[in-house]
Amino acid sequence: MLTEENKLRIRISQEEEQRAHFYLLLSRLLGAVADEQLFDVIQNLEIDNSEIGKALGQLKSAAKCTSVKTAAEEYDELFIGVTQGELIPFKSYYLTGYLNEKPLAELRDDMEKLGIAKSDLVAEPDDHIAFLLEMMHGLIVGSFGDPLSVVEQNNFFEKHIFCWAPKFFEDLEKADAANFFIPVGRIGKLFMEVEGEAFLIAA
Amino acid sequence: MSVKKSKSPSRRDFIKTAGLGVGVAAVASGVLSAGDAEATPLLSTDKATDYRETEHIKKYYESAQF
């Protein structure tokens, strides 16, 4: 029987942690308007010469020459709008053309199995891209229980994210209202490719 | 006792060279929590965003009526 003292502690590698933080960063960019603090974070990101690094460089430049207010207005146009934004960033919508369909129900089933709950304070359904990205972060680091194995993470990723998010990020990059968010779309698309490839390498 | 996940050097190398190590830790409080634990809202509690949030909820319900 496991007691608190001899309970297995699962630690994750630094690289897996980096993935998790990346999910959280993207989640934050897509879940709400960016504030000064997030702009600050963006401008201090450490980047390299990888494709993602270059796209992050573009985001850093965008943060330099866009005001928080302008980025917020762009966020509004892209995702909020009058009745809806230019984009509808929900898994159900991308897979069926409608909100609140089976893809959402399937996600909710898995959320329950994984012990993930959404705050009642937020009205959006659970399959918003920002929530899904945040879920991945939690599943990697163990916010809802033990960290998931890479195989389990992959199952979740393929079932709820990989099947639609690359297309969403493409749409974001090409959206009429996008300016600051062009590199966000590019980063997201590249990150999805990296994740897909990384999952193919046995942990 | 600790068990390390993801020991494969090739997977870790791949992630390393993919450019994901950007030096950012926690940047957001999230809406998600484990089961009954209290979650903090993803959207900021700043007044301006509160108004936006209310509008968004309204629009969501409006657009959901099809």
* B8 and A CB contact within 8 Å: yes
B21 within a domain of the structure (yes/no): no
| Cβ contact, residue pair A117, B6, below 8 Å | no
| Cβ contact, residue pair B28, A28, below 8 Å | yes
B14 within a domain of the structure (yes/no): no
The reported pTM is 0.83
The domain made up of A14-200 has a fold known as TorD-like (1.10.3480)
Q: How far is CA A16 from the centre of its chain?
A: 15
From A174's Cα to the closest Cα of chain B, the distance in A is 23
Q: What are phi and psi of A23, to 5 degrees?
A: -60, -40
Question: B15 burial class (0-12, 13-18, 19+ CB within 10 angstroms)?
Answer: buried
* B17 and A CB contact within 8 Å: yes
pLDDT at B51: 40
pLDDT at B45: 31
Q: CA A186 to CA B19: how far, in whole Å?
A: 14
The beta-strand segments (E) located in chain A are 9-11, 116-118
The region of weakest confidence among A126-130, A159-163, B56-60 is B56-60
B9 within a domain of the structure (yes/no): no
| Cβ contact, residue pair B6, A31, below 8 Å | no
Domain hosting residue B60, numbered range? 33-66
B25 within a domain of the structure (yes/no): no
Q: Does the ipTM surpass 0.90?
A: no
B26 within a domain of the structure (yes/no): no
B42 within a domain of the structure (yes/no): yes
B60 within a domain of the structure (yes/no): yes
* Residue that has been written with the tokens 């990020």 in this structure: A169
pLDDT in tens, A88-108: 999 999 999 999 999 999 999
Q: Which residues of A touch B9 (CB under 8 A)?
A: none
Residue of B21, B28, B12, B4 whose CA lies nearest to A191: B21
pLDDT in tens, A2-45: 444 444 567 889 999 999 999 999 999 999 999 999 999 999 99
Total number of domains in chain B: 1
pLDDT at A119: 84
The region of weakest confidence among A34-38, A53-57, A90-94, A162-166 is A34-38
- Mutual orientation of helices B9-17 and A14-31 as an angle, nearest 10°? 40
Please give the average per-residue pLDDT across B30-54, as a whole number.
47
| Cβ contact, residue pair A80, B6, below 8 Å | no
* B50 and A CB contact within 8 Å: no
C-alpha separations of A83 from A52, A88, A92, B41, B61 in Å: 33, 11, 18, 23, 10
